[in-house]
Structure 1
């Protein structure tokens, strides 16, 4: 039946209570003799919530008698309660949809962070291994083979962790210890010297904030290793009265594309990016309520700057 059919359609469009005595139009939609025989009249009541009509419900009577005003008021109240239930059901469906979308994005982020960077490192080692084999340089070939074996083992372990637990891989000793660990092996893996310069004695970030910051910095460093052809990189941690700032810079080739800026507090849409890792960095900055800027550094190299609101009274773990 079309939603605009007869007086039921009126009740489905306007917050009203409608009696229907002429059931001939209803009988056209039925194959039995119910309308006009067992059913002599019908009452259509709107299911309203906040001036929005979400449906209609009907009561059927075997005579043409009317019910008094107090009962009609009660029936309208029932309609409003049913409207509220429909409204809440819609909200719940939307909440579940958003939850599923968030879980899918979290899974994508986790797989990317756990696997993509190590696989890219392994791919970079493959041509070096091939060159060493062709040059009959056994020592270099063994070194690159060992690097690949270590990378594949790391990917395997990380994949098992993601599949089994879907949990975030984070150093239990905190953010600064995790960054220092990266710095210790960065040169041997990428032939790029990495410095960590921290002027903030207490970061006061909670566990979730540390995880998001760690992955943003990790992705920036992975991009330096893959694309920059740099010889030196530095991670600077500083603060102002309003912000905690993480700056990742290198002296490599720089960026050809225009600067990309993500200001989370702004209502403007994000600048589209063709780099999947950068999109994830932007998403993580949004979770922190901060700002992420990516661009060239004075014409030489690349600069990634993460600024998150700094609160002197904020609780959390000290790194």
Structure 2
């Protein structure tokens, strides 16, 4: 059993881990063992409420026999001790474990385990799960220990609520990506297909009228436009498949820019003065996609011969600039309804999610500048 003085340390470490954004399952695995020792229990388990609210699903356990852990993987939300804890939103102690014994078909409950606790994991009066402690004796923990266990439940409930919000944001993000992909396909491909549809009757009439030159001209129109549609579709699929390199943003940008040069023939000068900068994975992914979209717009719309990518620290934070010497924002469809407006909208939304500032405007000397500035903690933006 841990000494009472260990309780504040456990609470403090859980709170700091939550603030640092630690992985939830890793957090549960790491803290379940000291919680078990703090309460002088022999085993512990953490259960999350399913999305439909009908079941409690086991996500972490320690000290449970494998057969018991397997039987406890899914239980009803109103099942026995756990259901009482969730329904009452309070810590529940019980030595009546006949229901648990009947469900697990073994001799753990009622023999090896003489008492059990159910502690709700809740945030703002919403129960998101339960954690259990199982005791070889039938003595209820002291009120001081129960108070600490309740506090731990509230902290872990906060973690589960954050996980729920992240899952909801992910679903919303996926829906948005699907809408964006549909819009890109419509803008890039639908007009080409409409043109082909209009040309085919003319081609048929020319063939039936034995008008060889007209037929060949219409056929060439169809062939060229179909090639454009196919190329546009491949670019869109490539864009939405793009993922951040697991080795980090700098490596991902190296690969992206090398492929850009090979594929387009457009000269690209890269200057990265922050190659060792490390950001959260989600932030690196958003920045990568912003650069990816900016380069895709250069390829599709700018008519540029030269382009530049600069990554550097400024007083405002991390600055990424993508420039080209092409036709400029207006000529590249920078106004609403133009061929690049969906891509620009997506870039702005990504920057907004990051808390970054994004601007798109004309470049001195001709062309376009896409500028994204992300605030960084003091000292994080020193050049390498």
Q: TM-score, normalised by structure 1?
A: 0.54
> Is residue 170–residue 211 contact of structure 1 (8 Å, CA) maintained in 2?
no
Query: 1:122·1:152 contact (CA, 8 Å) conserved in 2?
Result: yes
Q: How does 1:171-250 map to 2 (within 5 A)?
A: 171=302, 172-178=326-332, 210=334, 212-215=336-339
For residues 135 and 14 of structure 1, do their structure 2 counterparts lie closer, same or farther at Cα, with a shift above 3 Å needed? same
Q: Would the aligned equivalents of 1:175 and 1:214 in 2 still touch at CA under 8 Å?
A: no
Runs of 4+ in 1 over 6 A off after TM superposition: none
| Structure 1 vs Structure 2 CA RMSD | 3.0
CA contact (8 A) 1:14 1:53 kept: no
Residues 142/37 of structure 1: CA separation in 2 closer, same or farther (3 Å cut): closer
Per the alignment, residue 62 of structure 1 pairs with 136
Give SS of 2:150's match: helix
Q: CA deviation at 1:211?
A: 6.6
Secondary structure (helix, strand or coil) at the match of 2:218 reads helix
2:194 match = 120
**Alpha-carbon distance, 1:145 to partner:** 2.5
Inter-partner Cα distance in structure 2 for 1:41 and 1:316: 65
- Equivalent runs, 1:1-319 vs 2, <5 Å: 1-166=75-240, 167-168=296-297, 169-171=300-302, 172-178=326-332, 210=334, 212-215=336-339, 316-318=360-362
| 1:122-162 Cα shifts (integer Å, max 9, x gaps) | 11011112212222333432332332232123223323333
Q: Distance in 1 between matches of 2:101 and 2:230?
A: 68
The 1:61/1:103 distance shift into structure 2, 3 A limit, reads same
- Which is bigger in relative contact order (C-alpha 8 A, separation at least 6)? 1
CA distances 1:36-81 after superposition (whole Å, capped 9, x unpaired) = 2111111111111111011211111111223222211110111112
Runs (5+) with no aligned partner, structure 1: 180-209, 218-279, 289-313
Distance 1:72 1:153, change over 3 A: same
1:3 is displaced (CA, Å) by: 2.4
Determine the C-alpha separation between the residues in 2 that align with 1:74 and 1:54.
19
**Following TM superposition, by how much is the alpha carbon of 1:97 offset from its aligned partner in structure 2, in angstroms?**
1.8
Query: Deviation of residue 214 (structure 1)?
Result: 0.8
Task: Structure 2: give runs of 5+ residues left out of the alignment.
Answer: 1-74, 241-295, 303-325, 350-357, 363-367, 369-384
TM value normalised by structure 2? 0.46
Taking structure 1 as reference, are residues 56 and 128 closer, same or farther at Cα in structure 2, changes over 3 Å only?
same
After superposition, the Cα gap between the structure-2 partners of 1:133 and 1:72, relative to the gap in structure 1 and judged at 3 Å, is same
